[in-house]
Amino acid sequence: MSGQNNTTAEFDGATAGGLLPMRDLAFTMLSVLVETAASQLHLHVPLQPDEGPADPKSGVNLEEARVAIDAANALLEAVRRVMDSDARLAIESMLTQLQIEYVRRTSLAQ
């Protein structure tokens, strides 16, 4: 009927079928993986190195961080062509920072 509001639940950017476009879903999944890796390294997002030296035994989980970083890199490679340029560059930048921090923390742990 005219004049009635559509009561169907919708997401911003959702298609007519209620599904997120692949570029949005990929960005969301990549963001979760980046946040997980940062959390395992005890970093804040947006990524900034910790102040002072990091104690490798302070609850940092290098193995979990590595898995999240590897998963994000694999997913990024698979969805690179459907992502917006700015989103792709943001994820690539954060992943690079995570990889640098991972290597730093790994060398401190040895």
d(CA 96, CA 76): 12
Where in the chain are the domains?
A: 22-109
pLDDT, tens only, 1-50: 444 444 434 445 555 578 889 999 999 999 999 999 999 999 976 555 55
Instruction: Please list the alpha-helical segments (H only) found in the chain.
Output: 22-40, 62-79, 85-109
CA-CA distances (angstroms) from residue 34 to 3, 18, 73? 44, 26, 10
Place of tokens 């639940």: 9
d(CA 21, CA 44): 28
pLDDT, tens only, 56-95: 456 799 999 999 999 999 999 999 999 999 999 999 999 9
Query: Does pTM top 0.95 for this prediction?
Result: no
Looking at the DSSP bridge assignments, the partners of residue 48 are 44
* Largest pairwise CA distance in the chain: 69
